[in-house]
Amino acid sequence: MPTLVSACLLGFPCRHDGGDKRDERVLDKLRGEELIPICPEVAAGFGIPRPPAWHDGNRVVDALGADVTAQFENGARQAVEAARTHGARLAILKQNSPSCGTLMTGTARGRAPGRGRAAAALAAAGVEVRGEDEL
């Protein structure tokens, strides 16, 4: 069964700073599995690099003060569509991300408990979501 995986965990340089968060634990655990790389923020049309963003109440704002909630919601919808298209029932996502965080996400004051927009949308669609530390 295919597994959605945050592209940055697989080594794709798609983070806001243009880097990646390649995680050998994830690669080792999922070796031989069918992996579907996703980056909801890139799918939503954000560039690389881009200003970092975080949750501010019910909104997502970037470091320039722009409300990017609609784009994050669009990226979340695209992640759900990728899961449906590929039949994925599991997603391994990058913790602490405003899109992909499964237990923690970022705020202007640091990390806080909660799910990112894509993680929440995937869970609502019946996909099991786990962070890279939850393998």
Angle 59-38-65 from CA coordinates, rounded to 5°: 25
Contact partners, residue 104, CB within 8 Å, separation at least 6: 95, 96, 111, 112, 113, 114
> What was the pLDDT predicted at 45?
96
Task: Kindly report whether the global pTM for this prediction surpasses the value 0.75.
Answer: yes
Question: Is the CB of residue 123 less than 8 Å from the CB of residue 83?
Answer: no
| Conformational region of residue 54, where left means phi above 0, alpha means psi within -120 to 50, and beta covers everything else | beta
pLDDT averages per 10-residue partition of the chain, 135 residues: 97 97 97 97 97 92 96 98 98 96 85 93 98 93
> What was the pLDDT predicted at 88?
98
> What was the pLDDT predicted at 115?
95
Whole-angstrom distance, CA of residue 17 vs CA of residue 115: 21
CA distances from 57 to 53, 74, 98, 105, 108 (A): 13, 18, 12, 12, 10
- As for how many domains the chain has, the answer is 1
Domain that holds residue 33: 3-134
